[in-house]
């Protein structure tokens, strides 16, 4: 049986990313290949010196500063910090149970290159792995893989609608080396066309490769709350959306369940929601969506699992569209492909009630999803044939 090396963010403490890796593994197994998640420890002295210029990269520094700010903020509130640590332990437990197998740890770039010869092909998984922040690592763009080994991208995202001018040449270089090229958004397809002239396949996020019933085969449904509730899953810090959820929940006599401070510390979330949950694993997250009466989220995967489970939901913008680094494109692209643009609310003056009660034609959504799913599996079968 042929063996695939898989480049994914296996150490990311994010519900959607963890469920996405599982879906990627299931899809590879369905195509009849063995796989191994490549572990790369790039933090050598050589790497730090060579890539010191990253401190001047605003995309890289924004992510670093968000993490530092969250850590410092949690120190002020030991109870919240303790809850956050419990959640991190649940992520670790999930990874140990569901993610893998893994390669030996490749310490340094030379070891990474040597390890690549163990595979018949190397694939970069989905998510926003081609952001400008990570260009110089030469990992997710597969620049470490020798020319004679097949290179595949599965629904990978740039996370931006424009590549910085000083990165265009190197971006073009790694895209030209990838033998089978698919992206997650139409905007990504456009960027590939502009830089290389190639036609990238627009593939669905791996979580969408399986319908709600198939996900029940992966994880049984376990009730998370006996009362009717609205699941307010926000990664951003927009207070207007939280105000709108509170008004809607009060009118509908619903409990508000939240999973606070996941990506960043949001002070408002200390008092937002009737049930602030930290002891939530990726599987619990999926079950919170399955059992919710309504869902309001600014998360891509919060939206995906709402769709797969035929929920009444609304997705709001986490990022301002005026920002060049806006990451709303993946939601725009998916909702357009599924014909549910009206579920993506872009105004801060959110009228949840009228928008939420509007009917979603899930029969049509499922029909479109089936077409997109088949197209993505066709791409996978071609690239792994």
DSSP 113: H
Q: Tell me the range of 137-141, 195-199, 349-353 where mean pLDDT is highest.
A: 195-199
Find out whether 136 and 128 touch, Cβ atoms under 8 Å. Answer: no
User: Which of 16-30, 66-80, 214-228 has the lowest average pLDDT?
Assistant: 66-80
Give 281-315 pLDDT, tens digit per residue.
999 999 999 999 999 999 999 999 999 999 999 99
Q: CA triplet 338, 343, 349: central angle to 5 degrees?
A: 155
- Residue 322, pLDDT above cutoff 80: no
Dump the DSSP string for 179-231: SEEEESSHHHHHHHHHHH----EE---GGGGS-HHHHHHHS------SS-EEE
pLDDT value, residue 75: 87
Domains of the chain are 3-209+371-383 (3.40.50), 212-360 (3.40.50.2000)
pLDDT value, residue 63: 58
Top-confidence residue, 350 or 293? 293
Top-confidence residue, 357 or 374? 374
Q: Tell me the range of 39-48, 93-102, 326-335 where mean pLDDT is highest.
A: 93-102
Q: From residue 223, how far is each of 103, 213, 229, 257 by CA, in Å?
A: 36, 16, 12, 13
Give the torsion sign (CA, 72, 73, 75, 76): positive
pLDDT value, residue 330: 81
Going by pLDDT thresholds of 50, 70 and 90, the confidence category of residue 328 is low
Find out whether 4 and 384 touch, Cβ atoms under 8 Å. Answer: yes
Going by pLDDT thresholds of 50, 70 and 90, the confidence category of residue 54 is low
Q: What is the mean pLDDT of the chain?
A: 90
Top-confidence residue, 265 or 65? 265
The residues near 35 (Cβ < 8 Å, ≥ 6 apart) are 3, 4, 5, 6, 25, 28, 29, 101
The residues near 51 (Cβ < 8 Å, ≥ 6 apart) are 136, 137
How many other CB atoms sit within 10 Å of the CB of residue 31?
Answer: 15
Helix (H) or strand (E) holding 294: strand 294-297
Q: How far is CA 222 from the centre of its chain?
A: 23
- Residue 49, pLDDT above cutoff 90: no
pLDDT value, residue 325: 46
Alpha-carbon span 233 to 277, nearest angstrom:
11
**Strand arrangement, sheet containing 344-345:** 275-276, 255-258, 229-233, 294-297, 312-316, 344-345
Alpha-carbon span 124 to 153, nearest angstrom:
5
- Closest C-alpha to 278, from 297, 260, 290: 260
pLDDT value, residue 353: 81
Q: For 319-331, what is the mean pLDDT?
A: 60
**Strand arrangement, sheet containing 150-156:** 102-107, 34-41, 3-7, 121-124, 150-156, 180-183, 201-202
Give the torsion sign (CA, 266, 272, 276, 282): negative
Going by pLDDT thresholds of 50, 70 and 90, the confidence category of residue 272 is very high
- Residue 23, pLDDT above cutoff 50: yes
- Residue 198, pLDDT above cutoff 60: yes
Q: For 203-224, what is the mean pLDDT?
A: 97
- Residue 230, pLDDT above cutoff 50: yes
pLDDT value, residue 127: 82
The residues near 155 (Cβ < 8 Å, ≥ 6 apart) are 126, 182, 183, 184, 203, 204, 205, 206, 376
pLDDT value, residue 53: 52
Going by pLDDT thresholds of 50, 70 and 90, the confidence category of residue 320 is low
Dump the DSSP string for 319-342: S-TTSTT--THHHHHHHHHHT-GG
- Residue 376, pLDDT above cutoff 90: yes
pLDDT value, residue 73: 84
């Amino acid at each position: 049986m042929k063996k695939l090396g898989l480049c994914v963010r296996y150490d990311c403490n994010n519900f959607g990313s963890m469920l996405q890796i599982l879906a990627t593994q299931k899809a590879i197994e369905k195509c009849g290949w063995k796989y191994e998640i490549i572990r790369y420890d790039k933090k050598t002295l050589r790497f730090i010196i060579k890539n010191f210029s990253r401190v001047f990269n605003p995309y890289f520094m924004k992510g670093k500063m968000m993490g530092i700010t969250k850590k410092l903020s949690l120190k002020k509130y030991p109870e919240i910090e303790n809850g956050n640590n419990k959640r991190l332990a649940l992520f670790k437990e999930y990874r140990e149970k569901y993610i893998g197998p893994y390669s030996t740890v490749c310490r340094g770039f030379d070891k990474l290159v040597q390890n690549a010869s163990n595979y018949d092909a190397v694939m970069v998984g989905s998510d926003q792995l081609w952001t400008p922040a990570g260009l110089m690592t030469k990992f997710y763009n597969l620049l470490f893989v020798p020319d004679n080994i097949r290179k595949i991208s599965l629904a990978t995202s740039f996370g931006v609608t424009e590549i910085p001018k000083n990165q265009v040449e190197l971006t073009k270089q790694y895209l030209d080396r990838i033998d089978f090229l698919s992206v997650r958004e139409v905007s990504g397809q456009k960027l590939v066309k502009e830089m290389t002239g190639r036609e990238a396949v627009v593939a669905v996020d791996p979580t969408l490769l399986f319908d709600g019933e198939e996900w029940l085969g992966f994880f049984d449904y376990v009730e998370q709350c006996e009362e009717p509730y609205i699941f307010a899953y926000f990664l951003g810090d927009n207070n207007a959306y939280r105000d709108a959820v509170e008004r809607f929940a009060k009118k509908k006599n619903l409990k508000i369940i939240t999973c606070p401070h996941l990506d960043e510390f949001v002070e408002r979330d200390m008092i937002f929601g009737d049930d602030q949950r930290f002891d939530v694993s990726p599987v619990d997250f999926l079950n919170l969506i399955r059992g919710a009466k309504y869902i309001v989220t600014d998360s891509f995967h919060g939206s995906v699992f709402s769709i797969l489970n035929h929920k009444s939901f609304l997705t709001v913008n986490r990022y301002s569209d005026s920002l060049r680094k806006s990451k709303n494109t993946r939601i725009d692209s998916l909702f357009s492909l599924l014909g549910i643009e009206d579920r993506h609310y872009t105004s801060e003056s959110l009228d949840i009630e009228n928008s939420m009660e509007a009917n979603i034609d899930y029969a049509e959504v499922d029909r479109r999803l089936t077409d997109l799913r088949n197209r993505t599996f066709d791409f996978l079968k071609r690239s792994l044939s």
